[in-house]
């Protein structure tokens, strides 16, 4: 280390400390040093962040917040903060539920497949045969 300092040391032009104290608020400094993620609020005043659903709590209907672009701040101590136009929004956090479709038995599955095949047959596109003016060929019915 001493060899490195001897080779690369630079003598300062002025002999004072060049650091200046921060004159802003502590809250502003915390926001600057936080990890920030932009989000857009939905019609029901919620957004998703890291597999969590963040629901904004309001005193009134909160119509002006619908579709608002907010910023999620993750602070170094683990706190989260929602900020909109410089104001902190109160919110609740819940884990996002995983959607699972209802289980179906074999009879229901077969009925749905049969219905889908009927729909496909009824709405199948016509194929034009080359050389003939108006004749169309329809797909044949599948064997059951």
pLDDT one-digit tens code per residue, 67-121: 999 999 999 999 999 999 989 999 999 886 666 667 778 888 888 888 888 888 8
User: At a CB cut-off of 8 Å and minimum separation 6, what does 82 contact?
Assistant: 54, 56, 70, 71, 72, 73, 88, 89, 91
**Distance, CA of 47 to CA of 33 (rounded, Å):** 22
pLDDT one-digit tens code per residue, 15-67: 888 889 889 899 899 999 999 999 999 998 999 998 889 999 988 877 888 99
Cβ contact 60:24 at 8 Å: no
């Amino acid at each position: 280390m001493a060899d490195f300092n001897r080779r690369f040391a630079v003598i300062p032009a002025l002999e004072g400390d060049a650091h200046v104290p921060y004159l802003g608020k502590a809250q502003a400094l915390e926001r600057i040093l936080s990890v920030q993620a932009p989000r857009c609020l939905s019609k029901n005043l919620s957004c998703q962040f890291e597999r969590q659903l963040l629901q904004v709590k309001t005193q009134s209907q909160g119509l002006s917040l619908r579709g608002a672009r907010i910023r999620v701040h993750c602070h170094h101590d683990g706190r989260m903060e929602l900020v909109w136009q410089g104001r902190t929004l109160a919110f609740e956090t819940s884990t996002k539920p995983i959607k699972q479709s209802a289980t179906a038995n074999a009879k229901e599955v077969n009925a749905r497949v049969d219905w889908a095949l009927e729909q496909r047959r009824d709405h199948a596109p016509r194929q034009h045969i080359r050389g003939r003016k108006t004749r169309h060929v329809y797909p044949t019915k599948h064997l059951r």
